[in-house]
Structure 1
Amino acid sequence: MSSSTRELFGGAITAVAPITLVDASDLRQIPDTQEVFLYPDSSVSIVVEVLQRVDRNDDDSAIRFHFDSLAHDNEAISSAVDAVGVIPNTRGDKTPKAITLTGVQSVAKFNKVDEDQVRVLMALFRVEDKRVDLVVTFNVPVQSQDQGAVDQEGWNTMQNHFDAFVRSLCIVDFGLFV
């Protein structure tokens, strides 16, 4: 799948993403603090969100806080963290390192009895001097009541897309965070 550099928040942030992604703001109202993209051939979504910095001193508890908040917002029946890691910024710009998390959430959608299994790929960029947490979340249904789930090959592809997105993410204009 072909990718290109995508401008987020009016060009204040850039990241490499598949060119086929659909900008959700073309379909529905999206808050100014979010960018949301949809894969046209599945129920996978990407959310980039500017949030107030959480009061956690270590990277692990900070990203777990955001994962737990997502589980709460999704009304997840259960959730589990598989791994937490760090991707350093080796480009030399001022974009902070990415704290990453892989996890899973069981979510009952649209009043259905059976829940969807959603794999979550999350990255946290802590912009300390602006008191901001920039959170990137790939929501990847691997078991779904609709036809939007991805198989193992699709999961591997999403992991590669997440890795490219996070490693390429560049904060071009820190004025976004005023």
Structure 2
Amino acid sequence: MRTTSATRELFGGAITAVAPLNLIDASDLRQVPDTQEVFLYPDSSASIIVEILQRVDATDDEPAIRFHFDSLAHDNSALAFSVDAVAVIANTRGNGTPPATTLTGVQSVPKFNLTTPDQVRVLMALFRVADKNVDLVVTFNIPMNSQDDGAVSEEGQNVVRVHFDDFVTSLRIVDFGLFV
């Protein structure tokens, strides 16, 4: 699962971030909303979603990221979900990109009407763009056990975690006009 990474342009270059070169752009396979960028790992069911959302009312970042995590659990019809950790990563790159609030959690997600739900590690980052009323949410979904062959090994989970850290710490909003 070790891969070479490089800076990838998102949303037509309005955002950039370091990501593995071998990711599959989901828009090459299916329709993806204009407010999302979706990437798939070629050797597992791990995925990355970058989504532009309307800013939630929470004034503090921790309740805001927990809101987005809870919304994802609802959208996934999660039978159970829990948050392991929330942290803030300051932007030390000297650009106008807001700091990231990160969340690590697990969701128990039913799949294909099977009796045993998949356990999915969720790595989420929230970049709040207050003056544009936008929450930019980055989500890495990592199946830890799966009813199909898409589960990610423990070593693979560690690699994806490094990819998440690289993606979040390198993410740069180049053109704030994207959020009009």
Is this a same-fold pair by TM over 0.5? Answer: yes
Counterpart Cα distance in 1 of 2:112 and 2:130 = 38
What is the match of residue 44 of structure 1? Answer: 46
Supply the distance in 2 between the matched residues of 1:14 and 1:2 (Cα, whole angstroms): 16
2:57 counterpart of 1:55: yes
Aligned-partner SS, 2:137: strand
Relative to structure 2, which stretch is displaced further, 130-139 or 144-153?
A: 144-153
How big is each residue's C-alpha offset from its partner over 1:75-114, in whole Å with a ceiling of 9 and x where there is no partner? 0000000000011100110000000000000000111111
Runs of 4+, deviation exceeding 3 Å: none
* Distance in 2 of aligned mates of 1:45 and 1:161: 11
Q: Which residue of 1 aligns with 2:76?
A: 74
Query: Residue 113 of structure 2: SS of its match in structure 1?
Result: coil
Give the TM-score taking structure 1 as reference length: 0.99
What amino acid maps onto 1:156 in structure 2?
N
Give the partner amino acid of 2:150.
G
**Residue 88 of structure 2 corresponds to residue 86 of structure 1:** yes
Give the alignment's Cα RMSD to 1 decimal: 0.4
SS of the residue corresponding to residue 91 of structure 1 reads: coil
Residue 59 of structure 1, CA deviation: 1.1
Q: Deviations over 1:139-167 (max 9, x none)?
A: 00001000111111111111100000000
Structure 1, unmatched stretches of 5+, are none
Counterpart-to-counterpart distance in 1, 2:95 and 2:112: 43
Counterpart AA for 2:128 = R
- Secondary structure at 2:92 match in 1: coil
SS of the residue corresponding to residue 93 of structure 1 reads coil
1:121 and 2:111 correspond: no
The CA distance in 1 between the partners of 2:22 and 2:15, in whole Å, is: 19
Distance 2:154 2:31 in 1: 32
Q: In the aligned structure 2, how far is the partner of 1:10 from the partner of 1:112?
A: 39
Q: Partner of 1:15 in structure 2?
A: 17
Structure 2 unaligned blocks of 5 or more: none
TM-score, with normalisation over the residues of structure 2? 0.98
Q: Which residue of 1 aligns with 2:152?
A: 150
State the SS of the aligned residue for 2:79. Answer: strand
SS at match of 1:76: coil
Using the alignment, how far apart are the partners of 2:113 and 2:13 within structure 1? Answer: 38
What amino acid does structure 1 have at the position aligned with 2:36? Q
Paired residues in the alignment total 178
- In the TM superposition, what is the alpha-carbon distance from 1:63 to its structure 2 partner? 0.3
